[in-house]
Amino acid sequence: MNTLAENAASGNTRGRRRLARVAGLALLIIALLGALLAWFNLRGEQGVHAYGHGGWSGARETPAALIERGAYLARVGNCAGCHTAAGGAEYAGGRGLPTSFGTLYTSNLTPDKESGLGLWTAQDFWRAMHNGRSREGRLLYPAFPYDSYTHVTRADSDALFAYLQSLPAVRAQVPRHALDFPYGWQGSLAVWRALFFTPQDWQDRPQKAAAWNRGAYLAQGLGHCAACHAPRNGMGASSQAMSGGFVAGQAWYAPSLLDPGEAGVREGQESAWVQLLQTGSGPSGSALGPMAEVVARSTQHWQPQDLQALASYLQEQGATAGPPRSRPAAAPVPSGQMALGRAIYERQCAVCHGAEGQGTPGAFPALAGNASVTLAEPRNLLLVLLEGGYPPSTRQQPQPHGMPPFGHVLSDAQVAAVASYVRNAWGNKAAEIGNMEVYRAREGRGF
């Protein structure tokens, strides 16, 4: 009996030792993974105290000049667009940004010491822009597009901060983020950053012209074009390749800036592309949906040479990006569907867009030969038909002509018919639109 008891006790001891070894090994693995995760999140941050490429020296600019340059940079980055709630004070934050993971609310950028940036330094602001970290060191959500802003030079970061500090302080507590589990956890952000983000210092390419480098800097940095015009994976990370994608949390499709068949800059057509960003309308159409706000708040205020630099850079990027996205040949639209679509067009659309889709110069865009009408992804066309289209009011076009909504007077079948018609009349050629596509656009689904 004693022997059996001793054997049992010995077995229990060995079991406890084995369990202790397994637990110790698990803790070691967790510690190693945590250290690796911390290393990934700190890589590239060692130079944060340096001014880096293009650094600013206070001796070069007066405070007034620095603030003036910062005001322009704020326009370039459309900072007020996100950091101003409907009916709220400009830059005071509180605007809700819908995402696939919940709603994020933008921060107060005014110099209020309790709710804004009043206690921040230029160094703290640079850390947020370059490293995606708050003043306290917390990881920021990438809805603040620091994967683009990390390219912004310290010189421009300081100018932007000087401008924000010159604004009237507004005490405005923003709502707490409403995120699904586990996306509100800092550990989840640490994993995301380890996989998808490394701080980058901007370097001009010496073999390229100054205008090309300026355009590249604007597109990849403060302009953050990829935030809308690049596809995102299931974790919300952008590829930074501006090949088109759905705007996060919205039904609108941001077309490719590399493919001339979408919104890319065609060779020799840079001036028309610039005109769209300056006025909100151009020969090939108008800025609608989210892009209308970008034009109104940002690009109409850009210096002409910056718009030209951006256009030249994107034109070259498109030319070197390879052949345009291949599209399957569109089957002919059934004659009955075309007849129905034509009847609706003549009754509802021709008075503005013309019997042959030629449009009215300076007022209503042409539909014949319009790339936005024949996009392989028809979502924008359907949204305009259903909800209407409203170009931005700009200095050069203060009272633009809008398009009324037809979603309340046309059925899904009628919208599908007229959309299919304009995509295949007057030399246009694109795939037929089905009722289900209209239903998904109407209901805001289909992603």
Query: Residue 403's closest CA among 372, 427, 376, 432?
Result: 372
Q: Is 301 annotated as a binding residue?
A: no
Query: Residue 131's closest CA among 47, 59, 38?
Result: 47
Cα separations in angstroms, 395 against 192, 264, 288, 307, 311: 41, 25, 17, 16, 21
Give the whole-angstrom CA distance, residue 50 versus residue 57: 12
Tracing tokens 């030209």 back to the chain, one arrives at 308
Q: Is 53 annotated as a binding residue?
A: no
Q: Is 249 helix (H, G, I), strand (E, B) or coil?
A: coil
Q: Is 83 annotated as a binding residue?
A: yes
Residue pair 177/146 in contact (Cβ under 8 Å)? The answer is no
Q: Is 177 annotated as a binding residue?
A: no
Give the whole-angstrom CA distance, residue 40 versus residue 349: 56
Q: Residue 279 phi/psi, 5° resolution?
A: -110, -20
Residue pair 125/79 in contact (Cβ under 8 Å)? The answer is no
Query: Residue 313's closest CA among 273, 359, 362, 355?
Result: 273
Residue pair 318/265 in contact (Cβ under 8 Å)? The answer is yes
Residues annotated in a binding site for heme c:
79, 82-83, 225, 228-229, 349, 352-353
Residues annotated in a binding site:
79, 82-83, 225, 228-229, 349, 352-353
